[in-house]
Structure 1
Amino acid sequence: MKITLQKLVDNKLFEWSVVVVIIISALLIGAKTYQLSPWVEQIILFADWAVTLFFLAEIMARFIACENKKRFFKNGWNIFDTVIVVVSLIPIQDSEMALLGRLVRVFRVLRMVSIIPELRILINSLLKAMPQLSYVMLLMFIIFYIYGAVGSFFFAPINNTLWGDIATSMLTLFRVMTFEDWTDVMYETMSLYPLSWAYYISFIFFTAFAFLNMVIGIVVNVLDQEKTAYEKMLAVKKHKLTQLDRIERELKDLKKLLDKTHKNP
C-alpha cells in the first residue's frame, strides 16, 4: 500500500490533479465575493466541502506514503498543508469565527506553492537568501538615511511636502528609486540648485542599479544551490523507487515459486 501510494504521490498526473483542485478552490473563493442566489450558494458550499475532503485524502496519502512519519512534520510545507486542511474541516460557517474560516480557505490557494516543486524552490531560495539580503538592506537603509538627511537640509525650503523631514525625504527618495515621476522632483530642485542632478543620479546608481544587482546576484546564487539540491534529492528518490520496484518484482517471483511448490510438492 505504501509503495502504491508513493507511486501515486510522485505521479505527475496526480500532482496536476491537485493543482486543478486548488484552482477550483480559488474560483469558489472568488465566487463567494459576488451576490449569488441561495441555490448557487448551496452548490458552492457542497463544492467547497468536496474540495476540502479531496485535500484531506491527498494529505493522508502523502503521510502514509512517507517512509519516516516524524520527518513528514519536520517539513514546513507539510505542516502548512496539514494546518490548512484541518482548520478547513472545522464547521465554522455560521459561527463568530466565520471570517477565520473564509481566510483559511483563501490561504488554500497558497497550497499551489507546496505542490509545485518549482514554486517551492523559489520560495525556499528567497527564505534562505534573507540572511544575506538583510545586510544589503541595512546598507541600503544607511544610503537612504544619508541622502534623506542631505535632501531635507537642502531641499526643504523648495518643497516642504517632499523634503520637510528625514522620514518624508526617505519616502521621496523611494519614489525616485522606483522612477515614479522622479524627473519632476529633480527639475524642481534644479531651479535653485542647478547641480542637484548629481544628487539624484548618484542615488539612483547606488540603489536602483548597484544594490538591486546585488540582491539579484544573491537570490540567483541561492536559487542555483536549491536547484542542485533538489535534483540530487530527485535522483535519490528515483533510486529508492527503482529498488522498491525490484524488490516488489522479486517478491512476486518468489510468491509464484512458492505457489508452484505448494501445487507440485
Structure 2
Amino acid sequence: MIKTIQTAFLKLRSNKIFELVVVAVIIISALEIGAKTYDLSDAAIFILEYLDVFITIFFLCEILVRFIGEEEKKNFFKSGWNIFDTLVVVISLIPVDESEMALLARLIRIFRVLRMISIIPELRILINSLLKALPRLGYVVLLMFIIFYIYAAVGSYWFSDINQVLWGDIAISMLTLFRVMTFEDWTDIQYETMEVYRFSWIFYMTFIFFTAFAFLNMVIGIVVGVMDEEHTKERNEGQPSMLDLQKQIELLSQQVEQLTKGKPDKMP
C-alpha cells in the first residue's frame, strides 16, 4: 500500500502538468503579494486572505507529494533547494496576526516567489552557476577594489579642491568612481576637473578601460564559463555512463548467445 502511494506520488511530481500547476500557483502567489500593497476594499481583502490560505495549503501538499514520492527520504534534504522550499512552506504556516512573528511571516510569504527557481531547472542552473562562480570572482573583485582604491586616492589628492562633495575623501572618491564606471553623468565630473587640469581626461579614460571594459568582461567570461560547465553537467547526468553502456552491451551479448544456442542446427 505504501509502495503504491509512493509510486503514484513519484509519477505525480514528475508530471509536467503538475509542474505547470505549481508554477501557476507561484505566479498567483506573487500577484497576491503585490495586490496587498494597494489600498483595497474589505471584500478584496477578504478574498485575498482566503486565497493566501489556499496557496499555503497547496504548497504544503506539494512538499508532501515530493517528500513521499522520494524513494530515499534522507536524500530529499540533501538538496539545498528542497530545504529552502520546506523552510518557506513551514514558516508560511505561522498565522499572520498582530503577534511578534507577523512581520517574519509576511516576509517569508514574499520569498515564496523564489520557489519558482527550485521548480524551473533552467533557473536552478543560472543560480547554481552564479554561486559556483563566486570563488573565482573573488580574485577579480579584489583586483578591482585595488584599482578603485588607487584611483580614489589619486582623485582625492588632485580633485578635492575642485569639488569637495565628490572628492572630499577616499570613501567619497570611490563612490564617485563607481558613478564613473556605471557611466552615470560621468562626463559632467570629467569636464569639471578638466577646467583646472586639462589632461585629467586620461585619469577617467584609463579608469574606465580597467573597470568597465577589462574587469567587467572578465566577470562575464567567468560566469558564462561556469554556466557552460553546468549545462554540460546537466546533459551528462541525463545520459548513461560508459559503464552502464558496457553492461547493457554485455547483457545483449548474453541474450543473443542464449538465443543462438537455443536454435536447432539446420540439416544439410
1:259 matched residue in structure 2: none
Bigger shift: residues 117-126 or 96-105: 96-105
Q: Distance in 2 between matches of 1:204 and 1:162?
A: 17
Supply the distance in 1 between the matched residues of 2:215 and 2:62 (Cα, whole angstroms).
43
State the SS of the aligned residue for 2:176: helix
The match for 2:224 among 220, 223, 232 is 220
Separation in structure 1 between the aligned mates of residue 23 and residue 97 of structure 2, nearest angstrom: 25
- TM-score between both structures, scaled by the size of structure 2: 0.85
1:147 pairs with 2:112: no
Give the structure with the higher percent helix: 1
Query: Percent of counterpart pairs with the same letter?
Result: 66
Amino acid at match of 1:142: I
Partners of 2:139 and 2:16 lie apart in 1 by: 40
1:51 corresponds to which residue?
55
Q: Distance in 2 between matches of 1:234 and 1:29?
A: 37
Whole-Å Cα distance in 1 between the matches of residues 236 and 63 of structure 2?
24
AA aligned opposite 1:209 = F
Q: Does 1:32 align with 2:36?
A: yes
Structure 1, unmatched stretches of 5+, are: 241-265
Q: How does 1:90-169 map to 2 (within 5 A)?
A: 90-169=94-173
Deviation sequence 1:186-219 (CA, Å, 0-9, x none): 1111111111111101000000000001000100
| CA distance in structure 2 between the partners assigned to 1:149 and 1:65 by the alignment | 60
- Give the counterpart of 2:70 among 46, 66, 70: 66
Matches of residues 246-265 of structure 1 in structure 2 within 5 Å? none
Partner letter of residue 218 of structure 1?
I
Q: Do the aligned partners of 2:155 and 2:173 also contact (CA within 8 Å) in 1?
A: yes
Letter in 2 for 1:2: Q
Q: Which residue of 2 aligns with 1:211?
A: 215
Residue 6, structure 1, aligned to residue 6, structure 2: no
State the alpha-carbon separation in 2 of the partners of residues 129 and 83 from structure 1: 26
Contact kept in structure 2, 1:21 and 1:51, CA below 8 Å: yes
**Cα distance in 2 for residues equivalent to 1:69 and 1:229:** 24
Q: Which runs of 5+ in 2 are unaligned?
A: 245-268
1:191 — aligned with what? 195
Pick the aligned partner of 2:234 from 230, 234, 252. 230
Asked if structure 2 preserves the Cα contact closer than 8 Å seen for 1:93 and 1:101, the reply is no
Q: Secondary structure of the residue that 2:112 maps to in structure 1?
A: helix
- Report the Cα distance in structure 2 between the residues aligned to 1:136 and 1:177, rounded to whole angstroms: 16
Task: Using the TM superposition, give the Cα deviation of residue 181 of structure 1 relative to its aligned residue in structure 2, in angstroms.
Answer: 0.6
* Aligned partner (choices 202, 209, 224) of residue 206 of structure 2: 202
